[in-house]
């Protein structure tokens, strides 16, 4: 999970600066507050993305952050080519360093770009992934239309994101997000105020049915979602026919 802002109300420049501040300790804090489950969830995201795909595809990792999903795709499909895009240069710096360390720099390219205005031709990618980044998009519907545009016919979008907790779990979710997550961030050396935005955007995030409707409105077909982690996260996927 990533620290987030209420992007409908905050200046995108402020959001970008916030991600720049947390970039250095980003991976450690995420793993700590998810108890390592984020690694399992991302692996499931990549399996969902690649299911039914032929080896050697071209994939897009949107809001790629420090590059974990792009690296996982490259490892799972040894013939693939991946482009990761993010609006934060500091995050991209971390992603490039990790790709180089794993010997994957020739197969993964990282670009600074706005997900609502992607610098790619239409029908370019076999698949696209988003991992805990959709909450941070200022215009989610526009971003989905852009993703739809750059996917090839038959291409797949797979997204890992928070989900609204069911009523029995919701009070615990609020306590965890408002109190425990900022405390973990502080212990790990990050600014707890940055991570309090995670609580706000998690609790204000659209319902699963609303997200599925957004996918359909953007032109995607066969949209479906599966929750994990006591219903706190979900993988949503759909196809461009």
Q: What is the pLDDT of residue 167?
A: 72
Report yes or no on 15 lying in a domain.
Answer: no
Q: What pTM value is reported for the model?
A: 0.88
Q: What is the pLDDT of residue 7?
A: 38
Report yes or no on 188 lying in a domain.
Answer: no
Report yes or no on 74 lying in a domain.
Answer: yes
Q: What is the pLDDT of residue 213?
A: 98
Q: What is the pLDDT of residue 94?
A: 94
Report yes or no on 175 lying in a domain.
Answer: no
SS (H, E, C) the chain: CCCCCCCCCCCHHHHHHHHHHHCCCHHHHHHHHCCCHHHHHHHHHHHHHHCCCCCCCEEEEECCCCCHHHHHHHHHCCCCEEEEEECCHHHHHHHHHHHHHCCCCCCEEEEECCCCCCCCCCCCEEEEEEECCHHHCCCHHHHHHHHHHHEEEEEEEEEEEECCCCCCCHHHHHHHHHHHHHHHHHHCCCCHHHHHHHHHHHHHCCCHHHHHHHHHHCCCEEEEEEEECCCCEEEEEEECC
Residues of the chain below pLDDT 50: 1-9
Q: What is the pLDDT of residue 8?
A: 44
Report yes or no on 197 lying in a domain.
Answer: no
Q: What is the pLDDT of residue 31?
A: 75
Here the CATH number for the domain that contains residue 111 is 3.40.50.150
Report yes or no on 31 lying in a domain.
Answer: yes
Domain that holds residue 149: 25-165+207-239
Report yes or no on 174 lying in a domain.
Answer: no
Q: What is the pLDDT of residue 10?
A: 56
When divided into structural domains, the chain yields a total of 1
């Amino acid at each position: 999970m990533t620290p987030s802002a209420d992007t409908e109300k905050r200046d995108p420049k402020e959001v970008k600066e916030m991600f720049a501040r947390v970039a250095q300790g980003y991976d450690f804090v995420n793993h700590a507050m998810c108890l390592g489950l984020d690694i399992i969830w991302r692996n499931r995201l990549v399996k969902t993305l690649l299911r039914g795909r032929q080896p050697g595809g071209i994939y897009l990792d949107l809001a790629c952050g420090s590059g974990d999903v792009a690296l996982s795709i490259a490892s799972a499909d040894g013939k693939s080519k991946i482009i990761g895009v993010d609006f934060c240069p500091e995050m991209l710096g971390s992603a490039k360093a990790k790709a180089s360390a794993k010997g994957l720099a020739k197969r993964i390219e990282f670009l600074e770009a706005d997900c609502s205005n992607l610098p790619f031709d239409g029908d370019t990618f076999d698949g696209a992934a988003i991992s805990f980044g959709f909450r941070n998009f200022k215009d989610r519907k526009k971003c989905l239309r852009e993703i739809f545009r750059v996917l090839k016919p038959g291409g797949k979008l797979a997204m890992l994101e928070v989900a609204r907790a069911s009523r029995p779990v919701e009070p615990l979710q609020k306590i965890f997000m408002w109190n425990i997550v900022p405390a973990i961030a502080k212990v790990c050396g990050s600014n707890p105020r940055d991570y309090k935005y995670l609580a706000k955007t998690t609790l204000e995030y659209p319902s699963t049915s609303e997200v599925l409707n957004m996918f359909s409105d953007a032109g995607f077909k066969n949209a479906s979602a599966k929750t994990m982690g006591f219903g706190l996260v979900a993988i949503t996927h759909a196809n461009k026919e």
